[in-house]
């Protein structure tokens, strides 16, 4: 096998069962780490299971809704649903929490997270191809559906929280996008441009390069325990260029504190000068 054939063979990798299994494990473990999720699993296993299915198949649900298709179509894949349900049961109800503790071991957690990022690429490309079959050469639709298919679990997080009895509108991904949602949007744009032949690169090469970037970035962020987006400097410069630099509330509070301190200092100095003037006038009168 020659080196140039590696991206082509990589693009032909089947996602089922190993990569899909890793995606389900990573998704359900993320759900268990949410505040109150364990209590919900004890109080209402049905609600917990439904939340887990939204974590695992949220992309399919959202992209189906966008294309006016049944959102329950993912249930037709009985093998995948059974596999995801088995993972859900083992993560939440395994005796002594052995299953969760095993995959929480850092090397296994890194492996599962990396394999999950591989499935992200496949979901984006599948969403773009599916959208193109409905709306030929409608690149905005392809970007939207590819984005939804690849990051649906994050985009419908508010609905998933409602299933668990939590309402946090401030966590809307459109208000403050997380890194996975941002990088999925970038991937959807890139693969749409490639699909429309505006990007001069072979599909399998783009899949290989994009997936390598996803895996390396994800593993690095987990090892360094950094939640900061690698795109933060670029976002700041573009935001300043096109939308103007807007100060955060913390900066405004800091400036307010500085201005109040400055005004208090000025008040003290003016009051001190007033006292000195009064003393001088009294001294002149006594003379």
* pLDDT tens-place string over residues 241-252: 988 856 554 444
pTM for this predicted structure? 0.84
Backbone CA torsion sign across 227, 175, 49, 77: negative
- Mean model confidence pLDDT for the chain: 88
Residue 239 predicted with pLDDT over 50 = yes
H or E element, residue 161 = helix 157-163
pLDDT of residue 50: 97
Q: Largest Cα–Cα distance of the chain, in whole Å?
A: 108
Q: How far apart are CA 287 and CA 170, in angstroms?
A: 71
How many angstroms separate the Cα of 40 from the Cα of each of 25, 53, 57, 221, 270? 19, 15, 20, 29, 62
Q: pLDDT tens digits for 91-147? A: 999 999 999 999 999 999 999 999 999 999 999 999 999 999 999 989 999 999 999
CA neighbor of 204 nearest in space, from 31, 8, 52: 8
Percentage, residues of the chain above pLDDT 70: 85
Q: Given its phi and psi angles, is residue 69 left (phi above 0), alpha (psi -120 to 50 degrees) or beta?
A: beta
Three-class SS state of 254: helix
Radius of gyration over alpha carbons of the chain, in Å?
Answer: 27
């Amino acid at each position: 096998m020659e080196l140039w054939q590696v991206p082509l063979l990589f693009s032909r990798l089947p996602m089922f069962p190993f990569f899909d299994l890793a995606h389900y494990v990573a998704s359900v473990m993320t759900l268990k780490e949410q505040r109150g999720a364990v209590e919900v699993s004890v109080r209402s296993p049905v609600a917990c299971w439904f939340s887990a299915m939204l974590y695992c198949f949220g992309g399919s649900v959202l992209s189906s809704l966008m294309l006016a298709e049944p959102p329950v179509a993912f249930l037709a894949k009985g093998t995948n649903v059974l596999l995801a349900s088995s993972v859900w049961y083992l993560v939440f109800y395994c005796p002594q929490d052995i299953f969760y503790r095993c995959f929480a071991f850092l090397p296994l957690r890194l492996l599962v997270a990396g394999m999950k990022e591989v499935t992200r690429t496949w979901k984006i490309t599948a969403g773009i191809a599916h959208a193109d079959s409905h709306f030929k050469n409608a690149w905005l639709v392809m970007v939207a559906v590819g984005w939804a298919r690849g990051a649906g679990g994050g985009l419908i997080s508010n609905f998933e929280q409602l299933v668990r009895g939590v309402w946090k509108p401030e966590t809307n991904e459109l208000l403050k996008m997380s890194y996975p949602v941002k990088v999925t949007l970038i991937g959807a744009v890139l693969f749409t441009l490639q699909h429309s032949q505006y990007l001069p690169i072979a599909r399998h090469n783009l899949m290989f390069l994009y997936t390598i970037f996803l895996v390396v970035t994800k593993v690095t962020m987990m090892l360094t325990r950094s939640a900061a987006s690698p795109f933060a400097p670029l976002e700041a410069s573009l935001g300043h260029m096109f939308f103007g630099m807007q100060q955060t509330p913390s900066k405004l509070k800091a400036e307010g504190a500085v201005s109040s301190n400055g005004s208090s200092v000025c008040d003290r100095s003016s009051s001190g000068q007033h006292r000195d003037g009064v003393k001088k006038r009294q001294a002149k009168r006594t003379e």
